[in-house]
Every structure is written in C-alpha cells, then in structure tokens.
Amino acid sequence: MNRILVTGGAGFIGSAYVRHLLAPEGYDGTAVTVLDKLTYAGSLARLRAVRDHPDLTVVQGDVCDAALVHELAGRHDQIVHFAAESHVDRSIADGGSFTRTNVLGTQVLLDAALRHDVRTFVHISTDEVYGSLPHGAAKESDQLRPTSPYAASKAASDLIALAHHHTHGLDVRVTRCSNNFGPHQHPEKLIPRFLACLLSGGTVPLYGDGQHVRDWLHVDDHVRAVELVRRSGRPGEVYNIGGGTSLPNLELTHRLLELCGAGPDRISYVPNRKGHDRRYAVDHSKITAELGYRPRTDFATALADTAEWYKRHADWWGPLFAAT
C-alpha cells in the first residue's frame, strides 16, 4: 500500500488534494497522513467529507518539529508538501514565521526524507517566485526574482529542495502554480475576502488602480496537476501550473460585484500594497507536453459556483472573516 504524508493537509489546497486522493472514484488504497499545525489558516472542517475514511490519519504538528517529522517520514513512501505561511500581506507585516515555516520547515522535511528513504518529495511552490513580468509568461528555466517576503521564502525553499535532488539524488519534484480559488479558501485571500465583504453588506478594499494582473486557476485543476506530477513527473524537475484566466483585479472585482448583485459604489480604493507585483504569468506548456495536463474548469462557471458556496457557508467563513 502506498503511504503519502501530506503536509498542510488542513489548508485550502492541501485539503482539496486529500479529498481528491480519497475520493471513491479512482481510490487506489493509498493511505494518507495529514501533518498540519492548524494555524489560523488550518481548518479540519475542510476534511469533513473524508474524516471517517479508514485510510486517513490526521496529526496536529509542526513541520519544524524534527523528531515528529522523522518519525512520520519513517512510515511514509512519499511526501507532498503544501504546508506554508501563504498570505503575502502577512509576510509584509511580519516575515519571521514565513522564513521559519517555509524555509526551515522544508529543510526539516528534506532531511527526514533523505534519512528515511522517502521515494518521492513533491514540493508545492508558487508562480510568485518569478516576480512581476511586464509581458510574456515565465518558463521553469527563468531566473527567480521574488519580491515579497512570502515569495522569497518560497523561492528559497524551492532551491533548497532542488539542491537535495542535485546533491543527494533525492527524487524532488517542484510545482509552481498561479493563484487558486474555490470553496474553503480563507477569507484573507482576494476572492473570498471580497465575497465576504459583499455578503456582509460592506465595500471591497481594492489595492491601487486595480490593474494588477493575476492568472486564476480553480483549486481542482491545481490538485489534478499535482497528482500528475506525483505519479508521472520526473525527479529534479520543476513544473509550472497555470492556464486559468488572466484578469486585472478591477475586472475580477466587477465580476464578483455582479455575482453578489452589487454595484461599483461598493468598491473602495485603498493605498497599494507595499511592493505590489504588477503582473504574474506562467507558461505551463511543459506539464501539458510531458504529463498531458490541461485545466478543465470553466472560469465563469467556477467563479459563480464559488460565490454560491460562500453564500451558503457563512457559518464557516464568518468567524474567520471577523478575525481578519
């Protein structure tokens, strides 16, 4: 039986990945252990659909806890590493926890993977490591130019992970995905935050001139791509994951306003985020050519479904939103 350790499995994307692994259709007997510190960003409610699955174990713990990580690595064949401090705004206010979890935590996991002969280590990264691009789309071989403390901590962890492949021959595979959206995303992130603002009768705080461009990918497409990389990717390789819908934040905001039946008077322009990258874009032709990846989700439908989910689940996001 294959045994996979999923770090950050109670987070937005990690939990979607765990639900995917354990979904009845296509379930192959894989045993899954979630290691999650359950920080403010973690929520076991995201795993409700699979909590009684006989092959799921949840361990509350820190990826920086070497004794715990070694003990777990000794019992698993593969590690899929999602755990991270993930919110750019928080990294600007206080970067220490980002370096600790994202850099040192990854180092602890890599040490344990090496020591215990873990077969595959999939390291989940982000397109933000490439920095802002005035035009074109980043390829995996492009230079990393991270600008926020969050992106810098992710870039550092990518390089450390890849160095473990180069130096020790550890089977490390790195993914770099664009912005995700979907149900269960913490209301500190743009789409759920704006939905929460609108659904609670407020205005949406839009940074600067609203012309910052992001590529939006549904979380289910990201999860499918990670699974392709885990199953069929090549050791030591980086795979960009994108191909969603590229939009300036202002246009995305108008779509969210429409979905909530609100007008442009509900936009409140706020001073730009410090160091705000203007535009991200990734070229995902490598994962398409090598592993047959293509996003399946239609953006307009998925955005409408996501808005519906937030309308129906104020009990989940309400307390989190109140605490932001």
Q: Is 36 annotated in the active site?
A: no
Residue 46 DSSP class: G
CB of 149 to ligand NAD, least distance (A): 13
Site membership for ligand NAD, residue 69 (CB under 6 A):
no
Considering only 4, 5, 6, 10, the residue that binds ligand NAD (CB under 6 A) is 10
Fill in the per-residue mask, 160 to 199: x = in contact with ligand NAD (CB under 6 A), - = not in contact.
-----------------x-xx-----x-------------
Considering only 42, 131, 187, 242, the residue that binds ligand NAD (CB under 6 A) is 42
Q: Catalytic: which of 17, 150, 293, 310?
A: 150
Considering only 2, 3, 30, 39, the residue that binds ligand NAD (CB under 6 A) is 39
Q: Could you tell me which residues come within 8 angstroms of residue 107 by beta carbon, excluding any fewer than 6 positions away? A: 157, 160
Considering only 91, 105, 113, 230, the residue that binds ligand NAD (CB under 6 A) is 105
Considering only 84, 144, 174, 196, the residue that binds ligand NAD (CB under 6 A) is 84
Residue 244 DSSP class: S
CA distance 104 to 98: 9
Instruction: Write out the two tokens for 281.
Output: 């874009």
Q: Is 127 annotated in the active site?
A: yes
Q: Catalytic: which of 36, 62, 85, 127?
A: 127
Q: Is 305 annotated in the active site?
A: no
Residue 234 DSSP class: P
Which 3 state secondary structure label does DSSP give 183?
A: coil
CB of 255 to ligand NAD, least distance (A): 17
CA distance 173 to 239: 8
CA distance 256 to 233: 36
Q: Measuring CA to CA, how many Å separate 318 from each of 49, 90, 196, 222, 262?
A: 20, 20, 8, 26, 19
Considering only 11, 131, 146, 242, the residue that binds ligand NAD (CB under 6 A) is 11
* Span 140-159, contacts to ligand NAD by CB under 6 A: 154
Number of H helices, E strands in the chain: 12, 12
CA distance 218 to 301: 10
The residue ranges that bind ligand NAD (CB under 6 A) are: 7-8, 10-14, 36-39, 41-42, 62-64, 82-86, 101, 105, 124, 126, 154, 177, 179-180, 186
